[in-house]
Each structure stands twice: as structure tokens, then as C-alpha cells.
Structure 1
Amino acid sequence: MMGGAAAAVLVGLALLVWMLVPGYDRHQSTTDATGPRFGQDQGTSTVGRSPTPPDAAAAPPDPIAVGRNEGISATAENQVQLTPPQQEALRSFAQAHAGQQANQVAFTVAVGVAVPRQVELQDVTPELAAAFPAHAGKQYLLMPGRLVVVEPETRRVVAILPTAA
């Protein structure tokens, strides 16, 4: 009985020390799908630039939807190469739609992350689609300094485009 009580005290102390050790962030693992890209300022997905299969909106465990979701995350890159006309189109769009800007969201902004249903998204405008043809038919969320492009069928972030250069 004494040994059990001593073991419980030892485990309790070990837990207390573990929680108080500075410099270790237990809330954001770097091994999960969004860890290395937590709070991305920019990024894109190769799969996210390809057309969505017609039945990708089917509820999981549909292999097409699950595979596409995994593909969006797996092909994520942390950089976006924008031409000067694309940079200007983003800058102008952000200025013209400043009233739509969401200052905070309750999800991690990173390529491949699912956007919660309660977050209101807007359809990509014809002007944006002209500058970014791969994102025609997608939706967006405007945030400070970035435009978050979302695939409507899967509600996955497929691109984060910087609105200021």
C-alpha cells in the first residue's frame, strides 16, 4: 500500500514538472498535418489547383473525398510565386473589399486545413478568377495581409495568397 502511494506521488510530481518545463509547446505538435505550417502567411497546394472531381463532395469515407483531402495537404508548399499583375490584382482586391475582412478566425490557417461550416465564405469574383484561373469556382476568406482560397466541395484551404507585397 505504501509503495502505491509513493508511486502516485512520484507520478504527480513528474506531471507537475513536465507541465512547468519552459520552451516546450505541447499545444502545437510539429508532427501533425498542420504543425509545420501553423498560421501560414502564404502557401498553395498542387492538388488544390486541379479541378475537383464531380463527386468529391460525397461524405467520407468516400475514397475520392478522403484522397483529395489528403492530396491537398500532401502537396502543400509554403511559398507562392506571384507575377506583378497578380500581386496588383490581390492588392486592389483587398483594398476594394476591406469591409469583408475577418480579423480573427477560430481555426488554424494553413493549406489543407478544413474550414468550419460556421465560417462564411465568398465566391471568387470574376476579376480574381481572371488573375488566378486555377482558383475559378473556389471560395475565399479575406484576412489581414492574405486571401485564403477554399475549395467549396471539401471546404479545405487550397491557397493562401499574400495581399501586400
Structure 2
Amino acid sequence: MQSVAHMKDHERASMERELVWLLEQSIPESISHITQHLSEISIIKDTPNKGSTKQSLQAGLTANKNADISGTATVSGAVVTQLSLTLPPSYSQPAQEAAVSVYLKKGDVLPLRQAQEAQSYIKSALSKAQTAHMFGSNEEAVNVVERLLRDIQKARRILTADGCQDLMPLQSDNSEVKYNWI
């Protein structure tokens, strides 16, 4: 009987050590990693040129200004009509040697309201990740991670939705705006 009780105490102590490690190290490190990537995609700073129907806007990547991420987006009214984005190998898969390019397929459009809604969920997730701290209980850690992942899932669902009839363009003029990611 004593050996069974001793084994249960040993298992309980082992589980408590693992829980402490999860709450104090593993989950905060994961959230920090997510925070870094969210901050790189969440902030776009507008700097329009005046006196032209085409406006040039630059977007800064806040977390790592030396990243080799580049791309352009052309906006007609409130619809993205052209989009290209090039990511260095470190952003796709570390073992991959070539950069990855992403393009908006010809004929596809991404309504700006849809993009803005997705960006708001990304910013919300970033805010939650940045305010996360050392967790006092597993329930607290689970709640923070669930809220963070819920926002990321919503952004992903918005950007991958097939039919977005309720996401109409914000305006219908023919002026074009060009975004440059540097």
C-alpha cells in the first residue's frame, strides 16, 4: 500500500512540476512568439501623396524593420484589385531556401471591409498577447490562450470565406490607392 501511495505522490508532484513549467515558461514563450508575428502583420501606416488620383501608402512592419518582406497592393475604391507579397524563407519554412511570393489571383477581389475586419481581429489578438503575463492558474492560462486563438481563427475565417455578400465595398469611386510594404 505504501508503494502505491508513494507512486501517486510522485505522479502528483511530477504533474505539478509540469503545470508550473507550462504556466511559467512554455505558454508565455508561445504567446511571445505569436505576439512577434502578429505585430509584424498588424500595423499599416498611411502616408498618402497629395494631388494625385493614385496615392502611395507605405506600410511599416513594426516588430522587425529589417525584414525582407515586400509587396504591393492596388486598391480601386474599396476593393483590393492587385496584391503581391514576398516573404523571406525564414517566414515560411526555415529549411526552405527560396523566398515565397503570394499574389491575389486575377479576377479575385478582397473587399477592404473584409481586410479591415480581419486586421481588427489580428490587433485584438495582439493586444491580448501583449497583456498576457505569468499565469497563476491553469484556468487563467487556458482562458487567455482560448481568447487569443479565437481572434486568430476569426481573422483566418474572414480572409478565407468564399462568399462575403455582406462585406460590400466602402465606396465605389474609381480612384486607386497603392500600398507598398517595405
TM-score, with normalisation over the residues of structure 1? 0.30
Higher normalized helix content (fraction of residues) = 2
Larger relative contact order (Cα-Cα within 8 Å, sequence gap ≥ 6): 2
TM-score, with normalisation over the residues of structure 2? 0.28
